[in-house]
Structure 1
Amino acid sequence: MVPPKLWKLLWKIQAPPKIKNFMWRALRNCLATSENLFKRKIGRSPLCQICSTHPESVEHILLLCPWVQGVWFGGNLNYRINHLEITSLWHWLHDILLSYSNRIDDQNWLATQIVFTCWNIWKSRCKAIFEHKTPSPHSTITATRVGINNFMEAVKLSRSPHITANERTSTSPICWNPPNVGIIKVNVDASWNHNNCRAGIGVILRDSCCNFIAAKAIPSTASSALEAEAQAVLHGCELAHALACTSVIIESDSRGIIQCLNGDIARGAWAIYPILNRIREQQTLFHSCRWSWISRVANEAADLVASLAMARMSNEVWVHRPPSSLTHVLNKDGLPCPPHV
């Protein structure tokens, strides 16, 4: 019997009503699985129509079918299913949600990840049966991440007042400004193509005299523009640490990312919580590290590097000597006659 505490937690999960309803049906074993249809003398066989080796129970569909293992391990949870621990869906969900973390924010994030993952596994299973499409762990993971991000962004927009044009421009620097002496400024940006989820990450480091230190173009993939921007901040931190920078300012033109990092990341964009958490871990490696929002106009150099990354197949790093395509932007930002490659 499903404990009342689990039902209470289920209805509080950050997810659309259709996904909550789906989880309610799954926990009550009301889904049209092959096993249930066979018991009601509607189906011809209780076996899973994908693996054809085990009865298709709810637990098998969402947790135990061989192709599903890659979804749980390759997704945000990096969770490895232990077949011996799975007795029923509600037992598993109860144990992982109520025993996994003592922090309510972590528990909420975990619950959202789980229900969206279950929902997209079910959708992939249905496409495999009714549309004869081979289920893909990668596609299911991507659909889960996109679904979570879109839902959380919609929730955030519904709760936040709209930012007016005057508010956007009143605090927006119209040009890049060098940092104080002893501080390295790390500008980051990301380009993202929603059609194929490809992303280009741009990072550029300069000092208080506007001197070019390094830049890096990183081709990547992301389920949303927000995730790509978060990746850019993470790569900026990693490059600055690799170059032994001790005091840095990370500048991004993504207001959402900067707001998350300056606040409680557990209450920010949950879809990118793992990346935000890694950024916070990188922050501890510096003597001083703070985040700052910058307008897109003033972040032109990082934007150009991100565009370069979109056209590349592998990472490219420039140290001390920037690429020629960056020279005119760096000159405009104040770099005195930089050498280029």
Structure 2
Amino acid sequence: MATHFRDRDGFEGRNHSPVIPTPKPASPSLPTFLTLRNRGIPVLGACPFCDEEEESTSHLLLFCPFTRANWHGTSLAVHTSDFMNCSIQQWLGRLLHIHKALQPESISYLQGIFTTLWTIWTHRNLVVHEGKNPNPLEVVLTTQSLVCRYKEAFSSCSTTSLRRSDQKGENKLPQNLWQLIIKVARARAKKLHRSGFAYEAMNLPGDVILQRTSSCTEKQPALTIQEAMLEAVIKARDLGYNFLLLLSDSRRSVLVSNRQCTPTWQERVLLASETLIHSDLVFHAVYVPAVVLSNVSSLAKLATEMPINHCMV
């Protein structure tokens, strides 16, 4: 009896006879389906949205009637029927080539494109794995909400909101702005009365420049994050980086770091230290969801399980 799969769904039976895979031409199918077919396993791969055609990447993300309605309903108003003979890979390649200069309007447009693609794919997973009914209006509204949130996050990091502790008061900004993006996270082991923090600094190409994991005594979460931010900035400055973007899931720490709320006396001590060492730095803190910091949060959690102090440069 042949074995049939639908991505992560169950199977009907097993085939104990040896299967000799035969060479197949390049396929636009999803990678999971393509791997199963290459192993000689038949796949039931109908599109979960329309249930009419095979679920290929191009059909799922561009040409399915459900998807076409989503594209047309977004602020981009993309008519995917205009390039029916083009695959999703070719279409994205052309877009990236056209907007390779990365002007502000190009960045905004590409941001909308990839946000829409991500939302469609996420909705597809909910339909396949959780039995959700396809809802194009939900996809459109989710896409618009995410795009607005991204624009708000980037606008909060605009040059007008940057602070520079420069005695001359000059606002000198680099052409490419941020040199390092520093993720900071904290974890807590209540029973052990122990906290831990971790931070990771990456440059724009994505290379990890600095990473630190450390245990510490239990204290206020925002204060732990604030101390970790201060230490990360000092180490980044010592490595020759002067333009830093800090990411944290602690709203309090972000507000304090950006001088947007009244600090406690403990936070004022840290802010005073920042003023002394940041005379040659431009930095800004941004609140992000915890999922963005998942890898750093895992390191911080390890620091709560045992006393640890590890630094990698």
Quick check: which one's helix share is greater?
A: 1
Q: Could you tell me the TM-score, scaled by structure 2's length? A: 0.41
Q: Could you tell me the TM-score, scaled by structure 1's length? A: 0.38
